[in-house]
Copies of this chain bind each other. A is one copy, B any other.
Amino acid sequence: MDKYKRVIRTDMADESRVVGAGTQTRVQHGGLGEGIRIEKDGDNDVAITRVHVDTPEGEQKVGKPIGSYITMDIPMVNERSRDLYEKACRMLARELERLIHLNKNDTVLIVGLGNWNVTADALGPKVAQSVLVTRHIYEYLPKEIDETERPVCAISPGVLGITGIETGHIIKGIVDNVKPALVIAIDALASRSMSRVNTSIQLANTGIAPGSGVGNKRMALNKESLGVPVVAIGIPTVVDAATMASDVLDLIMDEMMKQAGQGTEFYNMLMNIDRDEKYRMIIELLEPYSGNLVVTPKDTDDTIDYLSKLVANGINMALHENIGPEDVDRFIQ
């Protein structure tokens, strides 16, 4: 019971802040309810799960607003196979295309969220720097534009600690001036699961909810706040240290219980430990580091560069008719 509750709690508290993550697993365990559709696609290289929340009932069950949540798991992305990279670029483009509905000359604003001075949080700014930007050519050199191209602009607003300005306010000001038909916001995420760090791409057409990610962004970027649809792309780049410690502890206790054997007193004692209480203990123990400690792969600097190019390729292909699967890395700035 405690365990179930806790899983729900952490999923709700942690994963629901993360674009689409984990949703599908929990829902499947709970049985498929009204207002929720789940699709599996892809293969072992790039496994795709789409969760569609269709009704207010679904919304309540999942704890996420009506919309589509897509997770692309690419477990072997760190092997750096060129073929896998190109495949992931193409599949990301395809999934993005499912979420965006644009007319021919609609402008798109790419927003690279996060702090470029912090490796694990620099994904968004790196993508914004890498995508093909064309809006100024449209405005100032319209003859140089291939008519299949689309006006795209991009900004990295920085984070509150760098600018002193709420990120949402910067973006709102730009949206009001540029009037894009769509915002695509990219951000590094904090994951609940070590296996997802730097291997999973998460998409949602409901924007980015407040409080997510490595930094602390307060104002939501979504249709309500900005007045235009917001597609979010996130990649988990860190795990909170307390979360990791808690997970390890759960696994160890499960193992101990298995070794003790069901029915033994030790088994029952371990069973009775309130795991919520245990999580609070960890948080306390990790204080004063807690809020500040993250778990990250050693080679994350390099990997985030790699993933930012992958995402930028996917965006380029999804937005420009004249950029195709054969153009991987060709229009990366």
Contacts and interface: CB of A to CB of B under 8 A. Distances in A.
Interface in A269-291: 269, 273, 278, 281-282, 285-286, 289
Nearest to A331: B82
Interface in A164-195: 164-166, 169-170, 172-178, 194-195
Interface of A: 82, 117-121, 129, 133-137, 139-140, 151-158, 160-166, 169-170, 172-178, 194-195, 197, 214, 238, 241, 244-245, 248-249, 251-252, 255-256, 265-266, 269, 273, 278, 281-282, 285-286, 289, 292-299, 301-302, 329-330
Copies of the protein in its oligomer = 4
B118 A133 contact: no
B273 A256 contact: yes
A292 to B, nearest CB: 5
B297 A289 contact: yes
Nearest to A107: B164
B160 A169 contact: no
B164 A172 contact: no
Given A173-B173, A176-B176, A296 B294 contact: yes
Contact of A161 (B136, B170, B197): B136
B133 A161 contact: yes
A283 to B, nearest CB: 10
Given A265-B265, A273-B256, A249 B249 contact: yes
Given A118-B301, A165-B178, A289-B297, 12 more contacts: A119-B301, A129-B162, A135-B164, A151-B164, A174-B174, A238-B298, A244-B295, A249-B252, A252-B281, A252-B282, A252-B285, A269-B269
A164 B173 contact: no
